[in-house]
Amino acid sequence: MCGGAFPTLIAIIAMFFAGVVAGPFQSVFSTLLLTGVIVLGVIMTLLISKILSKTILKGLPSSFTLELPPYRKPQIGRVIVRSILDRTLFVLGRAVLVAAPAGVIIWILANIQVGDLSLLTHCADFLDPLARLIGLDGYILMAFILGFPANEIVVPIIIMSYMATGGMLELDSLNELRELLVSNGWTWLTAVCVMLFSLMHWPCGTTCLTIKKESQSWKWTLVSFLVPTVAGIVICFIFANLVRLLGLV
């Protein structure tokens, strides 16, 4: 699971599920729920790996030798520079490169009218039938698509889409964000399906480029994109329609 999905998972758990348990056990419940989601991701990874090893990756097992480098005492200064400064600058740089174009796209879609509706609404309406089948809505699915370069910007894109603005917005609290989401039709089922899709959907653009670089194959890059995407759609579809069939929403 991509680390970029963690902010989304934590925020959704805090907004929609942490309140189920009151008092000092609230944080414990949230932690257990997040751990359960991570364990589910590990289980699905192992299951899909097993299925692939029996199908398209079927063949004789190959040997793999890993040579460990000699152990050296960590250098505190180098660790601080490489782990904090280098990674922080990398993340901030990627955030600027990804967030700015996403904001521009949302602004353009929200401000160009076709008929009586904006392009943003037309795109969301086009995606809405498929999104409803898997427990989402058109705006959420569009946010996942536009968030392909980096999973961290999925929730900000959802907020911008609902508010039809072109800037990265920061609400004062999770309660305000929850009110915004609920007013746009979110239920506990929507929250769970967003969590499941965040867990299972396609890898981000950086990961896909890395796969292409390492494998030197567009075929395996496409497979790496399609396998988790199909798995995420199937899981969300089964869960959402099972809940609806049982009348739990």
pLDDT at position 62 over 70 = no
Q: What is the average pLDDT across 56-66? A: 70
Range with top average pLDDT, 99-113, 132-146, 198-212: 132-146
Helical pair 26-54 and 218-245, crossing angle rounded to 10 deg: 130
Query: Each residue of 3-12: pLDDT tens digit?
Result: 667 878 888 9
Query: Each residue of 18-38: pLDDT tens digit?
Result: 776 666 777 788 888 888 888
Query: Each residue of 167-194: pLDDT tens digit?
Result: 445 556 778 888 889 999 999 999 999 9
